[in-house]
Amino acid sequence: MNEIAIPHDWWSLLNEHWENLLEIIGHHIDFNYPAFDPPGDSNGFPTGRKTYAEMEHLRKTEDPRLARYLGAAWCLASEAYAWSVPSWGVLCDLLSEEYVLDEGAAPWTYLLPEVPHD
């Protein structure tokens, strides 16, 4: 697993493997389809860009909504496909550590029971 502790780590890993990640995403998502905000929601607002251009825009502006495209590709991939392509493990790491993009969020805190304070 790649070390991802802060947003800079997440974006650096994404950029380092961007071409391979695009291959994975492009295998499952039509890059020529109109993009919406929020990403993937055809009931949302059209951004005026195609999906590929929207993903590039989100990457260049370091917008955490880019992770929705990664998640969509992960959900749509068969297991046989998933482990046959470079950077699949990176995709999984980016998704499992996506929480670092949410300032102040800690991993798995939503699973912890609420402790009453005296």
Domain definitions of the chain by residue range? 7-103
- List Cα–Cα distances, 92 to 7, 33, 58, 72, in angstroms: 16, 24, 19, 12
pLDDT tens digits, one per residue of 66-83: 999 999 999 999 999 988
Residue 20's identity, in one-letter code, is N
From first CA to last CA, the distance across the chain in angstroms is 40
What's phi and psi for 35, nearest 5 deg? -90, 150
Per-residue confidence of the chain (118 residues) as pLDDT tens digits? 789 999 999 999 999 999 999 999 999 999 999 999 888 788 889 999 999 999 999 999 999 999 999 999 999 999 999 889 989 999 999 999 999 998 655 554 444 445 555 5
